[in-house]
Amino acid sequence: MNKIPVNESRRTGMKLPPEQEAILAKCFHPSGTFVEFPIEDIETSIPARFEKIVRMYPERVAIKTKDRSLTYDSLNKWANRMANELLARCGFGQRPVALLLSKDVYQYAAILGVLKAGKMYEVLEPSYPAARIRFILDDLQATLLVTDSAHFSLAQSLAREGEQIFNIDVLDLRLPVENLDLPIPPDAMAWIHFTSASTGQPKGVIQNHRNVLNRVRRDTNNHHLCSDDRFIFPASRGGGMFSALLIGASMCPLDIRTEGLDRLEQCINDDEVTVYDSVTSMFRYFVNQLKQTAKFPTLRVIRLIGEPLYKSDVELFRKHIPPFCVIVNRLGSNETGSICEYNIDASTPIPERVVPVGYPTQNVELELLDDDGKAVGENEIGELSVRSRYLSPGYWNNRALTEASFTPDPNGSGYVTYRIGDLGRRLADGCFMHLGRKDFQVKILGNRVEISEVEGALLSLGNIKETAVVDHDDGQGNKRLVAYFVSVDGKVSTGNELRLALARLLPSYMIPTTFIAMDKLPLTGMGKVDRRSLPSPGIERFNLKTPLVEPRTSEETILAKLWAEVLALDKVGVHDNFFDLGGHSLAASRVISRVIQTFQLELPVKALFDAPTVAEMAAVITQNQTKQASEAELAQMLREVEAMTEEEAQRRVDEIDSTFTKK
């Protein structure tokens, strides 16, 4: 069985490789103030742990923004006022509270207040489409919608009929500031985070106090996070705050969309940030726009999650961070938290283009399963299945989905199994490689394509700083890869230039057929690449340096129309390269077959393959118009094309590539 045993030790039952252990052994704040997070604290509640920290560090700065800061004592008092307000409005008992607030110190005071009142919260992003917020509010059935003056009008327009709205800016400062000491069990619900679902409607992932405390304990003890650390979460919905506030550290909230990347750079250095935490693409986007001289001497831990990390990313990051800084590549989900980690320091070699997601985290058991639910062997691809005591209790208001997704141990051990829908591969030493979402797995011409490998190859070319590769169906049952990219310094390469460069790194079926240059890639509210918002390759001629030249002869007119039909484009210029337009070897074979049927010429198939533009193909046809083929000859030519295998067609294409390379 491809399985990692579960225990209650610092790590899993398997021993980490010496190089990983060595990185963790050196990962300490220079102040030497690390205090181990005790296991007994995970059986309390978030408010109980927070109040313990307040007693230890009352005057330490808990939250600092460009406008204001709050000490732990002040933050605690604000949260207690908020809790009393909530109890007065909503009474006792576990009920959801929706938060529609600016990312400011009072958002975090509101979150703590909700938890102190024994309730659960969902943070609504004001920039979300109104329809999405309304859906969440309808599903949540929240007792109260908490907002601020900046978003009060928006809250009024979105609130459900009869739903209470409270403006936190008018919170009564005369409310009691003493701790409420409500009995909150560790399995009480803490938050509901709505995330995308395969149905197209958001699903609410529930998390309880025990699981949140377990995550903080694991992260604290693994990387020796301490009260002298300063955290920044440029795209967090609030959950990340507990990594800092439950150990006595300081956090620097920053809304990247309103304050910008320049402010992020300034904040990291001015506030001497030591721990950075975001999705991978946000940090990549941030580092790509830095000047070469930019340095971050205080950063000691960079925690990345949510998307593939590439070798080129690590090489770029290392130019700006100190040699003692540890990059932590993680894999996880809202349902599971972080389940794998791979630690990288200045000397860690990265042999492949895609960085591993590493080794199972504490108290996590991982399996790789095939479609029949059976474990696969070493280096085989399977779906990741997680077994742990610390998984989400399920989905809000959706019992059927919860029962279908989470499988409790029938022996009553408390362990639950969850298949996360991601594909992976386990190496000989127990290290896991992440191969993307199962529901997004791509097959091109019968071959499975690992999207992360294609993206890693593009980034390794050196002239591309951001990319997203997706599969696209042309409506005729043909799938192709489309690469969206942002060039370094705005110097855009043509599709054919990129295709030729990738041909040295990837097999032909993994090379995108369409390359679309963009000024920037769209991002979600969490900072991930928003693949659903990428423009459709549609019917336009993308990323061609060749100007559009209309057909000038009858042959060119027929060919341009034929090419447009095969490539699903609106127009084709006579000097456009077939492969720059998104053509591949099978599409080329289809064009050749159509040309033979239309013009009925006696031509060697190779001659048509050697003419990758409409003008060149039309010239070949014009030069051979006197060579009309008989029915038998036409049939033979068609059989030759139709019997051509993908490998043979690709070899013809490669010959064309070689010719263009020599030019």
Tens digit of pLDDT for each residue in 171-205? Answer: 999 999 999 999 999 999 999 998 765 555 678 99
List, for residues 353-385, the tens digit of each pLDDT value.
889 999 999 889 999 998 888 999 899 999 999
| Global confidence as pTM | 0.74
CB-based contacts of 162: which residues, under 8 Å, 6+ apart? none
- Angle (CA) 213-217-219 rounded to 5° is 120
Enclosing H/E stretch for 212 = helix 209-222
Of the pLDDT bands very low, low, confident and very high (cuts 50, 70, 90), residue 639 is low
User: CA 307 to CA 496: how far, in whole Å?
Assistant: 27
Of 190-204, 455-469, 483-497, highest mean pLDDT:
455-469
User: CA 74 to CA 81: how far, in whole Å?
Assistant: 11
Q: Average pLDDT, stretch 208-237? A: 92
Which residue segments constitute the domains of the chain, with CATH numbers given? 441-533 (3.30.300.30), 554-662 (1.10.1200.10)
Closest alpha carbon to 191 in 237, 224, 157: 237
Of the pLDDT bands very low, low, confident and very high (cuts 50, 70, 90), residue 99 is very high
List, for residues 19-68, the tens digit of each pLDDT value.
999 999 999 999 989 999 999 999 999 999 999 999 999 999 999 988 88
**Least confident span in 275-289, 452-466, 573-587:** 573-587
What are the DSSP calls for 571-608, one per residue?
A: ---TT--TTTTT--HHHHHHHHHHHHHHH-B---HHHH
pLDDT at 311 over 70: yes
Give SS3 for 298.
coil
Instruction: Please report, in angstroms and rounded to a whole number, the separation of the first and last CA atoms in the chain.
Output: 54
Which of 390 and 454 is assigned the larger pLDDT? Answer: 390
pLDDT at 526 over 80: no
Contact 211/337 with Cβ under 8 angstroms? Answer: yes
List, for residues 240-288, the tens digit of each pLDDT value.
899 999 999 999 988 776 777 778 888 999 999 999 998 887 888 788 7
Enclosing H/E stretch for 481 = strand 479-487
For the four alpha carbons of 638, 642, 648 and 653, in that order, the dihedral sign comes to positive
pLDDT at 440 over 70: no
Contact 419/407 with Cβ under 8 angstroms? Answer: no
**Least confident span in 225-229, 241-245, 553-557:** 553-557
CB-based contacts of 491: which residues, under 8 Å, 6+ apart? 463
User: CA 339 to CA 388: how far, in whole Å?
Assistant: 10
Contact 111/99 with Cβ under 8 angstroms? Answer: yes
Q: How many CB atoms lie within 10 A of CB 201?
A: 12
Which residues on adjacent β-strands are paired with residue 189?
208
Q: What is the pLDDT of residue 244?
A: 96
- Angle (CA) 484-234-288 rounded to 5° is 40
List, for residues 101-119, the tens digit of each pLDDT value.
988 888 999 999 999 999 9
Q: Average pLDDT, stretch 406-425? A: 90
**Least confident span in 259-273, 373-387, 504-518, 645-659:** 645-659
Q: What is the pLDDT of residue 539?
A: 53
User: CA 417 to CA 282: how far, in whole Å?
Assistant: 31
Strand 416-426 vs strand 432-437: parallel, antiparallel, or unpaired? antiparallel
- Proportion of the chain above pLDDT 90, given as a percent: 46
Q: How many CA atoms lie within 13 A of 460 on its CB side?
A: 21
Radius of gyration of the CA atoms of the chain, in A: 29
Which of 448 and 481 is assigned the larger pLDDT? Answer: 481
Q: How far is CA 61 from CA 19, 28, 68, 82, 568, in A?
A: 35, 21, 11, 20, 59
Which residues on adjacent β-strands are paired with residue 529?
523
What 8-state DSSP symbol labels residue 534?
A: S
Q: Average pLDDT, stretch 632-644? A: 62
Closest alpha carbon to 241 in 270, 212, 263: 212
Tokens of 156: 């009024």
Q: What b/e sequence results for 388-405 when a residue is b if at least 16 CB atoms lie within 10 Å of its CB, and e otherwise?
A: bbbbbbbbbbbeebbeeb
Q: What is the pLDDT of residue 119?
A: 96
Q: How far is CA 637 from CA 333, 357, 474, 565, 641, in A?
A: 54, 51, 27, 22, 6
Which of 97 and 613 is assigned the larger pLDDT? Answer: 97
Q: How many CB atoms lie within 10 A of CB 463?
A: 16
Contact 411/417 with Cβ under 8 angstroms? Answer: no
Torsion on CA atoms 347, 348, 351, 353, rounded to nearest 10: -110
Q: Average pLDDT, stretch 474-479? A: 56
User: CA 152 to CA 77: how far, in whole Å?
Assistant: 24
Q: What is the pLDDT of residue 5?
A: 35
Q: What is the pLDDT of residue 2?
A: 39
Q: What is the pLDDT of residue 448?
A: 64
User: CA 508 to CA 196: how far, in whole Å?
Assistant: 33
Backbone angles phi, psi at 232, to 5 degrees: -135, 135
Q: What is the pLDDT of residue 108?
A: 94
Mean pLDDT of the chain: 84
**Least confident span in 103-107, 368-372, 446-450, 642-646:** 642-646
User: CA 460 to CA 422: how far, in whole Å?
Assistant: 24
User: CA 657 to CA 626: how far, in whole Å?
Assistant: 30
Backbone angles phi, psi at 393, to 5 degrees: -65, -15
User: CA 207 to CA 238: how far, in whole Å?
Assistant: 13
Q: How far is CA 454 from CA 407, 426, 468, 567, in A?
A: 35, 20, 9, 22
pLDDT at 586 over 80: no
Of the pLDDT bands very low, low, confident and very high (cuts 50, 70, 90), residue 9 is very low
User: CA 413 to CA 655: how far, in whole Å?
Assistant: 62
Contact 104/216 with Cβ under 8 angstroms? Answer: no
Which of 185 and 646 is assigned the larger pLDDT? Answer: 185
Which residues on adjacent β-strands are paired with residue 369?
375, 383
Which residues on adjacent β-strands are paired with residue 425?
381, 433
